[in-house]
Structure 1
Amino acid sequence: MEQHHIRLTASEIGGLWTNYVTDSMFICIFQYFLQHVEDREIQQILEHALDLAEQHIQVITKIFHEEGHAIPLGFTEGDVHVSAPRLFSDEFFLFFTKQMAKGALVTYGGILALTFRKDIREHFMSCLSSTMELFNEATDLLMSKGLEVKSPYIPYIEQVDMVEKQHFLAGWFGDQRPLTAMEITNLYTNIQTNHLGRTLVTAFGQVAQHEDVRSYMRRGKELASKHLEVLGKFLAESDLPIPMTWDASVLPESKAPFSDKIMMFMISLMSASGIGNYGFAISASPRRDIASTYSRLFAETALFAEDGANIEIKHAWMEKPPQAANRAALMK
């Protein structure tokens, strides 16, 4: 019986396109990291990460060719200068890899839930399983080197109890209840994301070629520092430790390893991750003062991301993603 060809849906095209562009960026980044890494164990992690990104590009290229869909431009060897001086420490290479793997797990899981064709499902299931392996390897190495920053410890629950007062939701005035485990988790996650973002904009602000990009990176550092202070205050008020900073991992170099285009895309990716994290944290924070704080930080990050997109458009760095047909224009 003849098999009917199943076209790709919008969610499948969008997922593949995003996967291609993002991994083309990671290929550039990991090629540069590998040029400078000295620790052999970290080198093996970076080699694994690079290999996964290259495999994904090959699979998506084949699918798009078979479908007659244009291959995204993404990022190429012209966007990376592997011979540029070292800008980050080996430890940062490892931190970065784990954080990117953690973000990729969320992204792949979301895309997989919206795929239908068997080969596309298999691709994103493979992406999930291989990225989980990379995540575990990076975490194990961070743990073995004593570099992993764990979320805070809290007491075990000895007996089940029920919320009896509406004060559980309060937070603006008077005594505040202790943070819940999920509130602590989201504060920890968002502090880590902002630390990583601040480290990147600090480095990129040193080496960017365009003044508007350098100014944008300086603004990003100020924003991340402000958010770290706001979020860290909630942990400090509960006598909980605040995750460490990685700013010391940026070396005082001024020669750019990456194009301004790829650095702006990386920060747009971090902004999108931050917006998503804040949105989830709002839904998981019963205390009204915490939820309202996240709402404010969400809005500030969204505005920062929009201004970054405007810079990318100004310099013709933003590749147009797949879109629906413009029926209104076709009917004129």
Structure 2
Amino acid sequence: MQKHNIQLVSSEVAPIWGGYIADSMANCVLQYFLNTVEDQEIRSIVEYGLGLTDEHIQFKNKLFENENFPIPDGFSDEDVDIKAPKLFSDIFILLYLRKMGISGVSTYSLALGSCARIDIREFFNHNLKTAAELLDKATTLLESKGIFIRAPYIEYPGKVEYVHKEGWMKGFFGDRRPLNAAEITHLYLNTTTNTLGKSLMIGFSQVAKSNEVKKHVLRGRDIATKHIEVFSSLLRDDNLPAAEIWDVGVTSSTTAPFSDKLMLFHTLSLCQTGLGNYGLAIAASPRRDLAANYIRLTAEIGTFSDDCAELMIRNHWLEKMPGAIERDAIDKQ
């Protein structure tokens, strides 16, 4: 039977192209972590994660070549100084690896569901499994070291219950019901994600060379601090513990291990992750005051994200994702 070369469709181009940029950035970050990590158990997980990014980049380079598709510039050795002094603690590196696993599982499951070509499906199916393994390795090590931050415990219900009050979704005034398990989960996850982001912004602010980039990441630090307090206060209102803060994961180094371009792109990527997380939280949180908080905080991240992108554009750092042909531009020629 004749074999036909089926062109990539948009839902395959998007995760392949976007993933190439993200993998090249992660590769730089993990190269630096590998050169600064001291704990040998954590080192082995850094090596595993670095091996995954190398594997992804090699597959995509070959795919782009076969498809006659221009390879994105992404990030390279010019964007990282692996000999720079240690900026982040080993515990921060381990927490970062766990978040990489979480992000990978989410990203690759979505990509797998949107792809048709068998080679692309096989690639993302493999990536989904290895991302889950990275997540498992990091979580297991955090638990063994006694530093894994668990979500709050809740008491098991004594019986099955149904909602009888029409005000069950209200949360602004009067008889506000306690948080349910799903709402607690998203508050916990968004607290821990913002905590890691805050530490990353603190580190970036110490080493950024451009005053504009430094000012921007400091703004990101302040936004993350504010969001942590909002989510933590909602948990405390129901006498639930808020996640611990890991700001101690940043050293006093002021030597930049990464280019300003990489740090600003990483900041933009965190914004995009946060927007997705808050969208999921809105869908899973029936209590209206929670949805209102998420919508308000989403708008704040959206504005910050736009400003990140504009700064990248001004510096000619933002690559354009392939898309539909600009027909109006052609017509005007």
TM over 0.5: yes
| Structure 1 residue 146 displacement after superposition | 0.6
| Structure 1 residue 11 displacement after superposition | 1.1
Aligned to 1:122: 122
Structure 1 consecutive aligned stretches of length 4 or more whose deviation exceeds 3 Å? none
| Structure 1 residue 324 displacement after superposition | 1.2
| Structure 1 residue 175 displacement after superposition | 2.7
For 2:3 and 2:38, the matched residues in 1 are separated by: 52
| Structure 1 residue 237 displacement after superposition | 0.5
| Structure 1 residue 70 displacement after superposition | 0.5
Q: Deviations over 1:142-200 (max 9, x none)?
A: 00001110101001122111000012111111231110000000000110111011101
Aligned to 1:100: 100
Q: Deviations over 1:66-93 (max 9, x none)?
A: 0000011100000000111100100100
For 1:158 and 1:58, the matched residues in 2 are separated by: 54
TM-score, normalising length from structure 2? 0.98
Aligned to 1:230: 230
SS of 1:275 mapped into structure 2 = helix
TM-score, normalising length from structure 1? 0.99
Aligned to 2:306: 306
Mapped pair 1:143 → 2:143: yes
Report how many aligned residue pairs link the two structures. Answer: 332
For 1:169 and 1:59, the matched residues in 2 are separated by: 48
Aligned to 2:323: 323
SS of 1:116 mapped into structure 2 = coil
Q: Deviations over 1:186-229 (max 9, x none)?
A: 00011011101110111101100100100011111111111111
SS of 1:251 mapped into structure 2 = coil
| Structure 1 residue 246 displacement after superposition | 1.3
Q: Deviations over 1:77-115 (max 9, x none)?
A: 000001111001001000000011101111111111110
| Structure 1 residue 245 displacement after superposition | 1.1
1:49 maps to a residue whose letter is: G
| Structure 1 residue 231 displacement after superposition | 0.9
Aligned to 2:69: 69
SS of 2:233 mapped into structure 1 = helix
For 1:64 and 1:213, the matched residues in 2 are separated by: 32
Aligned to 1:280: 280
Aligned to 1:203: 203
Give unmatched runs, 5+ long, in structure 2. none
Aligned to 2:8: 8
For 1:271 and 1:279, the matched residues in 2 are separated by: 12
Aligned to 1:28: 28
For 2:5 and 2:170, the matched residues in 1 are separated by: 56
SS of 1:113 mapped into structure 2 = helix
For 2:258 and 2:140, the matched residues in 1 are separated by: 29
